Amino acid sequence: MHGLLSDIAELQQQGFEIVLASSGSVALGLNSLHADIESAGVQEKQAAAACGQPILLNAYKQIALEYGFDIAQVLVTLDDLEERRRFLNTKNTVHTLLEHGVLPIVNENDTVTTEEIRVGDNDRLAAKVAQMIQAQHLIILTSVDGLYDRDPSEPGAQLVETVEDVSEYLAVTSGTSQLGSGGMLTKMQAANMAQNAGCTTLISQGVLDRPVSSVLEGARPHTRCVAKSTPSSSWAIWLTDRLQMAGSLVLKQAAADALEQSENGILCRDVVSLHSTFQKADVLHIYDEQGVERARGLSNLSSDEAALIAQNADRPVKELLGYQTAGRLVNRNNLVLLEDHHLPWEATITNILNRLESHELIQRARSKNDKRRINISLTTQGRILLEAAPQPLQENFIERFGALKIWERHQLIASLERLASMMDAEHLDAAPLLTASEDMH
């Protein structure tokens, strides 16, 4: 901590404005509760955060004062970063602290957050803050020198020094720490978020002496994820790089294809179906009839209002709602088209692969011809287990699941993930053996 704050003091004197994303309150607080992190439940972790936050901030403050500057605690929740008004309030607070030479120390408010409504790791939290304040650099200090082309413990592993397109490397992961969540996957997700905002990410090993400035100067090995030369606007980033979405809709194919040229935004009459209950000013996924996500937008109406208008297209909107509106579900200026038209499920896929690999059911190897590609193959144990699986149930499920539209599959996956998170079951082994009786054939 001394080395970090000493380094920050020197950088502040050089004119740098710095925001620190720090964790540790839960781990510190567990000592006060005489509990351990492996057995602690949600309520114990929330209580531990309440115990640990003043301990952590007092340590930061005492050391910072030795180096001639002050610190401030900025506790945030996911809603503070993704609900527009609270986002702007948080942004203004951080900028005011920086203007007065105070170091904002940002941490997720673990005392009030639960698993289903939290950012979850400091990497993406730091990236969200970097987006918010339009930072030039996001520096992530970790236990390795940066991103490697394979597991760093393997012979011949090479450090990837420069990454032009972070999305190509999102399948590369490393292990997680016992005292914190987030391996290399979350760091690359954070770098991807920062890259879209025009922020360069530097990933390197945390050291005691000049941990930040030595990376900025290029004096230590690190991975540099280059910022996009033409970043998205702050508004577009807030709409698209979200960790939680309120709902989704399916748009008629012709209307989806015309989004880029349309000045009307999204009209209720062009909506095929609505999914999840949402309110006015919620952010929505927007799919076409092929299941491709085409855009994200801020809703003008609640899901009930939109459904009412769509089902009564021949009646005046004012008569239906009691007030006059154009009947647009999303205005054009509140709509952001997705450039690459893909769904961001890399994290889900990688987590599944990690589980399978940890049980020695699959093995991953980087392609010799194209280092960006990861080849996956079944192990002998995996093949035996797959062959022993109850075929009727497996085949029926795969056939029916495969017949669903893409957005329906992802809605099911998202719902199951949310249930697992709410039950604190996301770390359990979810691979039960199925048995099929005669009446199930």
Mean of the per-residue pLDDT values of the chain: 80
Please indicate, yes or no, if residue 350 is contained in any of the structural domains.
no
What is the pLDDT at residue 243?
Answer: 67
Q: Residue 287 is which amino acid? A: Y
Burial of 245 (0-12, 13-18, 19+ CB in 10 A): middle
Same-domain status, 180 and 218: yes
Sign of CA dihedral 347, 352, 358, 364: negative
| Nearest-5° Cα angle at 33, 28 to 38 | 75
Q: Which secondary structure element, helix H or strand E, spans residue 307, and what is its range? A: helix 303-311
- Pick the range with the lowest mean pLDDT from 24-28, 111-115, 204-208, 358-362: 111-115
Please indicate, yes or no, if residue 79 is contained in any of the structural domains.
yes
Per-residue model confidence as pLDDT tens digits over 382-411: 888 888 776 555 567 777 877 887 777 777
User: How far, in Å, CA of 354 to CA of 351, rounded?
Assistant: 5
Same-domain status, 172 and 99: no
User: How far, in Å, CA of 338 to CA of 335, rounded?
Assistant: 10
Which CATH number is 271's domain given? Answer: 2.30.130.10
Please indicate, yes or no, if residue 197 is contained in any of the structural domains.
yes
Of 415 and 137, the one with more pLDDT: 137
Kindly write down the DSSP assignment for every residue of 200-219, as one continuous string.
Answer: EEEEEE--SSSTTHHHHTT-
Is residue 120 very low, low, confident or very high in pLDDT (cuts 50, 70, 90)?
A: low
Same-domain status, 193 and 150: yes
Please indicate, yes or no, if residue 379 is contained in any of the structural domains.
no
Please indicate, yes or no, if residue 353 is contained in any of the structural domains.
no
**What's the DSSP call for residue 427?**
T
Same-domain status, 32 and 86: yes
Nearest to 131 by CA among 229, 216, 222, 200: 200
Helix (H, G, I), strand (E, B) or coil at 272: strand
Same-domain status, 196 and 229: yes
Last residue of a domain, one of 277, 309, 337: 337
Is residue 273 very low, low, confident or very high in pLDDT (cuts 50, 70, 90)?
A: confident
For the chain, give the number of residues: 441
What is the pLDDT at residue 441?
Answer: 36
Sign of CA dihedral 426, 431, 435, 441: positive
How is residue 236 written in tokens? 């577009």
Please indicate, yes or no, if residue 419 is contained in any of the structural domains.
yes
Same-domain status, 225 and 264: no
374 forms bridges with which residues in the sheet? Answer: 366
Same-domain status, 86 and 146: no
Long-range contacts (CB closer than 8 Å, 24 or more residues apart) made by 167-176:
167/192, 167/340, 167/346, 168/372, 169/372, 170/346, 170/347, 170/350, 171/346, 171/349, 171/350, 171/353, 171/374, 172/147, 172/148, 172/374, 173/350, 173/354, 174/144, 174/148
Please indicate, yes or no, if residue 431 is contained in any of the structural domains.
yes
Same-domain status, 205 and 186: yes
**What's the DSSP call for residue 95?**
H
Please indicate, yes or no, if residue 295 is contained in any of the structural domains.
yes
Which CATH number is 198's domain given? Answer: 3.40.1160.10
Reported in sequence order, the residue ranges of 352-408 that DSSP labels E, i.e. its strands, are: 362-366, 374-378
Domain range for 54 is: 1-118
Last residue of a domain, one of 180, 213, 236: 236
Per-residue model confidence as pLDDT tens digits over 332-383: 888 888 864 334 434 345 556 666 776 788 887 766 665 445 678 889 988 8
Strands 283-287 and 362-366: unpaired
Same-domain status, 154 and 209: yes
Same-domain status, 26 and 100: yes
User: How far, in Å, CA of 21 to CA of 181, rounded?
Assistant: 14
User: How far, in Å, CA of 275 to CA of 293, rounded?
Assistant: 14
Last residue of a domain, one of 236, 270, 298: 236
Same-domain status, 152 and 214: yes
User: How far, in Å, CA of 243 to CA of 283, rounded?
Assistant: 11
* CA-atom Rg of the chain in angstroms: 24
| Nearest-5° Cα angle at 147, 142 to 148 | 125
Number of domains the chain contains:
4
378 forms bridges with which residues in the sheet? Answer: 362
Same-domain status, 230 and 269: no
Q: Which secondary structure element, helix H or strand E, spans residue 56, and what is its range? A: helix 42-66
224 forms bridges with which residues in the sheet? Answer: 162, 202
Per-residue model confidence as pLDDT tens digits over 19-50: 999 888 888 888 888 888 777 777 888 898 89
